[in-house]
Structure 1
């Protein structure tokens, strides 16, 4: 029994072909949109590549770029097919191509759905990449004279000022590393020497943060040295001075930023998938209804269209038998092939041509 059978008149088939022609061209634009979204996400990730660990997080934008390009090609071909299907005689040129086209388009729409789901599943890998990358960036903050790290200080400072964040998980991350280069430490001062010697690794650690961690909304001048020492500053209470520094870590800020982008892209890709699926459904109805017209031999008659000629299980069993019989030539395999073959198409086309010629002569 056919799945979702519908009946189409000749006028309805022509209108369906015209509408699908327009929708396929709109789908070309959605393919360009997918390509643009993938390119945008790739640029945004590369823009802060110094703050991320070298992990494979480019597969999502690469997937969107590839899907966008394929969408343009597939829907351009689909538009040409639907445009020719307005004339039933021209449909014969595409008859053998339409079923492979529909199958390829079905797998393509599945890839679009996978791309949408990947946008939502990327958060975990992105968080791990940001965590490792920011840890390394803060660690090498002071190495402004080291080749390859000269601009890392500027990158981290711009990040903290732009996203209103401090450190990786919070401002206390700066207490655990030496973020001031030794060239800017006065070794003649006893306090500096004692602080270096007191650390096992010989690092100059202090309860201070870079200037970029200062909260611009603070009502008092920023306190970035001796942050946890209440007695070092007048009228200062470390626990209550929440406005002094940015409290949020940069990993959380960047993760929230990228999550918002990926959720927006994921929703757009999901809507694109639904649109592509509706176009594919219409093309399937157009194909089956036109094939049934050719079987009947009357171009002006009504015809049935469906998504599947048989039930899901019967269709899967038939296709499996056809796959098994590929390359074989025997009677059992011949019975597994669909009755609507290329020879039948040629015979019907010859019969319709002779009928039209006879009508014209009369």
Structure 2
């Protein structure tokens, strides 16, 4: 007889970033989940959002998801499909799927721990290691700071790097892209990410100017839900188009792929709802010969990347991993190393997802966002439902 779910608890951790992502994103939020079953099993998962809605996600988990999943078979795929149907009235993706990841990840963690292996081992490791590209949320950096960051990426062995664009004047973007290209040289890959700051007309102007720097891809220049604009953009763009961090369902990924509006999809495992939908989206991309580049969260996306049939690159935003933020109770489940001039990620083989979050809590009344980043590693604000 299959185990049944008996409980779900949550706690919210807010942690300041060591390198601020700008005034709109000085901190990240993790909603830690713990799921129990009637055979004594325990699985640990999480939801994540860098800016909007952490309390809303926690409320969904506490008040709508936890009661609904009680008594369900502890099978990630079965639970995911039933839960998505239940929550769809509140939206097919976004806060709903972000919340769902807390359950899905806990169920995969539970299954792997009970099998005595890692999630990577449970799914089947196909890649010994995967390449890591250097990334930064750096539009607010001065050119000098951006150059220093690019120099650190080169020293770390990254063969590909990604920077933000979207300054008020196109000439500013051109100056910054040119400066980074000079630092990394002609052979490393250079990607740019506009984070939905442009319209279609400006995107074409930007491609005329920035395309000469040999871009590997242009990421999310236009609002992510504007399928019509992306279809037209990709038809005429000399640079591959990447998107997906703000696409939350397999149906929407299918729409972009079938419309021939994207070259590289970038699903965020948490934002799409966990490992279950991520695997389905990757298979959709593979059957349509579309490249995949998982978005953020190297402790999680790195492990999943090792299980994929096709080699992918994993994004590592400088000083923003869970381990670097000081919110893991133990070592990271992945290691990133400079191997013969290449930056590679490999698994440590720890059981389940391979990590738990610290229970450390800041002093009552403290505000993590009021202090400097250098003072704040591990200075957490935590809310619990227990």
Query: TM-score, structure 2 length as denominator?
Result: 0.24
Structure with greater strand percent: 2
Structure with larger RCO (C-alpha < 8 A, sep 6+): 1
TM-score with structure 1 setting the length: 0.25
